[in-house]
Every structure is written in C-alpha cells, then in structure tokens.
Amino acid sequence: MKEQLLELLEKKEFLHIRELLLEMNDVNIAEVLEELDTNNQLVIFRILPKDTAVLVFSYLSTDTQEKIIQAITDKEVKTLIDELYFDDMIDLLEEMPANIVKKILRNVSEEERPLVNQFLRYPENSAGSLMTIEYVDLKRDITVKDALLKIKRTGLEKETIYTCYVIDQNRKLEGIVSLRELVVSNDELLISDIMTTDVVYVNTHDDQEEIANLFKKYGFLALPVVDTEKRLVGIITFDDIINVIEEESTEDIYKMAAIVPSEESYIDSGVLHLAKNRITWLLFLMVSATFTGYIIRNYEATLSSEVILASFIPMLMDTAGNAGSQASTLIIRGLSLGEVKIKDFFKIIFKEFRVSLIVGVILSSINLIRIMIIDKTSFSIALTVALSLYITIIFAKIFGGMLPIIASKLKLDPAIMASPLITTIVDAISLLVYFQLASLILGI
C-alpha cells in the first residue's frame, strides 16, 4: 500500500490516489498516512474530501496531528476544527503544545469559544471531558415522521443518531428514543408515545470508571450527560468507553506492579520518564524491606548457631509473597469490577482463612517431606520450616484479602495493596514467625 502510494505521489496522480483512498476505511487511511513523511502527509490530507480528511485526522497520532497543524494555513485550521467532532477538538486542545493550542484557539469562532473554555475546565476522567455535543435532540410533541426528517437533514453531522434525546424548552432531559424505535414505529405516532422516560444519565462531574460500569451493565450505545439542573449538555458514546475500560485496566495493572500509571505507551516513553515512574515505589519498598532485614539481625545468634536456617528464607519469603498476592489480586480485581463490596469484609477473611488452610497443608507437608529426604536435616528443622510456612500462608492470605478492602474503605486505591506491598509486609511476618518458631522448637 505504502509503496503504491509513494509511486502515485511521485507521478502526481492525485485523482488516482483519491480514488484509491476513498475505498479504504478512515482508520486504515490514517494508518498508511502515519508511515509517510510530513510533506506527503500534507499532500494526501489536502487531496481527500474535507469530511474524510477530518475523520482521518482524528485517527492520527498526536505527533502527526501536531505536524499537520503546524504546516497548514490558518484557513485550513479553521475548516478542520469546524468539521471535527467537538470531543475530538477538545482532546486535541488538551494534547497539543501551547503554540499549537494558540493556533487552534484563534480559529475557533466567537460563539464557540465560551463552550470550548467550559469543556477544557472539566476534570480529567470526568463525564464532561468525555462527552460530545453532536447529538440529535427532539421535542416530545413532534411525529415520528418529522423526527425522521430532522434526522435525515442533520444526521451526518452527529456523532451518533442511533439514540435521540427528548428535551423540553429548557433543554431538560425528558426521555430517549432509539432510531430503531423510530424506524419501526408508525409515522403518525408522537415522540411522547414511544419515548422511554426511565432514562439512565450521568452528571458532568461523574467519574469515567462509574460511567464505564453503566455501559457494561446496560449495554448502551450512548449515555446522556446532564448538568445539575438535569439539562442535557452532551452525550458519551460506547467507542470512547471501550478506551476507558482498557485504560482503567491498564492503570490497575501498573499500580499493582508498583508503577506510577502513565497514558504513554511503553515504546513511546523516554528512558527518564520510565525511570521516574518506577523509582518512587522501588525506593519506598526498598526502605520497607530494610526493616525485614532488622528482623534477621535481631536473630543473628539463632542464625549463627544454625546457618542452614538461612537457606530456607528465600522459599519462605517467596511462597508467602505469592500466596498473599494471589488473594490481594483477586480482591482488587473484584472491587474494580464491582463484584466484591466493602461489606464482604468478614466473608472474605473467612474464605481466605479456609483457602489458606487447604493450600497451606499441601505446601507445608510437601516441604516437610522434601527437607527431610533431600536436605537430610533434623526433623526439628524440617518441622520449623514447614510450620512457619503454614502459619505464614494463613497470615498472607488473610492480609491479602483484608488490605485491599481496608484501602478501599479509607478511600485509597485498592490497587496499591497488590503484590509488591503485600510481599514486603508478608516477608516481615514470615521471618518473625520463622525465627520465633526456630527459637522455640530448636531451643536456640
């Protein structure tokens, strides 16, 4: 594709290029564009019909968008932002450097400027920052036929026409009607006859995670966004929500690996940026692990008289850490999917306790046998290790189950209670148990 395009560009066969591209999906055109240099990108951007060019533009990477805006004239910028969906324009303004933002803003029409400023003020990750204003609104007292005519006239400029919003003269949301209902209904019926009044809506300041949960629960194509007086101010469509769902999962996964979340992809991230997002937690966890070291120092005498005890430390620490992370991961994910609630606290503790009894007995008996047969230590050492493992696993599972819920209760993100932090906490517990038992059983 790229080669063919370059050849045609070389020969200046612009009509042919246009024809070729118009058969392609906009997303695919954007993909091909990304591979060309800025000059050719501009040529193609100008060859395409205006409406296609604008759609293709909205699928380009931030870098390419920046280069194109830098290169085109003010008049072209004006056309571009007039044609862009409103939410795509806001996204653009949020992502571009200051000089580009200036170039865009001076081409926004007088009337639209207050709206643009209002949208830029919505908090990141709120309904306001996700919504768009290109929706179909209808009045309750028009007929299905008139509604379809209105859609026919204005439908191409709307982000979606599949859900239409019924509002009163004060723009208050009264109901919704789907295009499906309009199409299958009798032409002479009124909108008020067929609209649904039990509408699920969100407020401009609602968080994107809650909104995503509504989409998942109801399977909606779009959700209306209202202000504090229930006036319709915008809509959110499912395609934006698919990104939100994935972003939220990625954020959780990063936090669970002690990485400060970032929206930049790994490949595009600079080394310093990556290092910065990792160092804070590494540092914090390293200092925490130091305290575990002090436990060992406290028992130096015990260790000196039975140096072999040291050789079981990695197995004890790792197994405890893994057992704890399994529990905390299940609870953290359950919380963010809404399957686990804070009120399940005691249920979870009891469940983890029972799981740890089963898991613990298997792991520690295997260990007991293995140590006696392969390591050929005394029975009391094998017993010390096996018992420590059992007790530690019980602690690990219960802590792993509890801590995410406690974090959630304290309005902290449960995801910080994942593997790394749990491991550090459980390591300390496992060594304490281990050396206490060693003193007790081995009498040292």
List the interface residues with its own copies, window 358-387 (CB under 8 A): 358-359, 362-363, 366-367, 370
Of positions 50, 113, 152, 409, contacts its own copies by CB under 8 A: 152
Q: How many CB atoms lie within 10 A of CB 224?
A: 24
d(CA 76, CA 59): 18
Degrees to nearest 5, angle at CA 143 with 138 and 148: 65
- With binding defined as CB under 8 A, does residue 342 bind its own copies? no
Residue 237 C-beta: closest distance to its own copies, Å: 9
Of 224 and 420, nearer to its own copies (C-beta) is 420
d(CA 68, CA 42): 7
Q: How many residues bind its own copies (CB under 8 A)?
A: 110
- With binding defined as CB under 8 A, does residue 243 bind its own copies? yes
d(CA 202, CA 292): 48
Please identify, among the stretches 79-87, 118-126, 346-354, 404-412, the one whose residues bind its own copies according to the rule CB under 8 A. 346-354
Residues 382-441 that bind its own copies (CB under 8 A): 418-420, 423-424, 427, 431
Residue 81 C-beta: closest distance to its own copies, Å: 21
Of 233 and 429, nearer to its own copies (C-beta) is 429
> CA of 179: how far to CAs of 86, 94, 156, 198, 209, in Å?
22, 33, 14, 17, 27
Residues 273-332 that bind its own copies (CB under 8 A): 274-275, 278-279, 281-283, 285-286, 289-290, 292-294, 296-297, 300, 303-304, 307-308, 310-315, 317-319, 321-323, 325-326, 329-331
Of positions 253, 372, 437, 444, contacts its own copies by CB under 8 A: 253
Residue 104 C-beta: closest distance to its own copies, Å: 23
Please identify, among the stretches 5-13, 112-120, 127-135, 266-274, the one whose residues bind its own copies according to the rule CB under 8 A. 266-274
DSSP string, 220-274: -SEEEEE-TT-BEEEEEEHHHHHHHHHHHHHHHHHHHTT----SS-TTTS-HHHH
Strand order in the sheet with 202-203: 202-203, 222-226, 232-237
Asked if residues 113 and 142 have their Cβ atoms less than 8 Å apart, the reply is no
Of 76 and 240, nearer to its own copies (C-beta) is 240
Residues 179-238 that bind its own copies (CB under 8 A): 179-180, 183-184, 196-198, 200, 215-219, 221, 238
Of positions 141, 210, 239, 409, contacts its own copies by CB under 8 A: 239
Nearest to 325 by CA among 420, 252, 412: 420
Asked if residues 415 and 250 have their Cβ atoms less than 8 Å apart, the reply is no
Of positions 245, 372, 406, 432, contacts its own copies by CB under 8 A: 245
Asked if residues 61 and 96 have their Cβ atoms less than 8 Å apart, the reply is no
d(CA 76, CA 87): 19
Residue 234 C-beta: closest distance to its own copies, Å: 18
Of 104 and 431, nearer to its own copies (C-beta) is 431
Tokens of 171: 């723009």
Residue 99 C-beta: closest distance to its own copies, Å: 28
Residues 24-43 that bind its own copies (CB under 8 A): 24-25, 27-28
Tokens of 342: 């804070």
In this structure, which amino acid lies at residue 418? A
Nearest to 222 by CA among 114, 140, 137: 137
Residues 131-150 that bind its own copies (CB under 8 A): 148
**Residue 28, Cβ density class (10 Å: 0-12 exposed, 13-18 middle, ≥19 buried):** middle
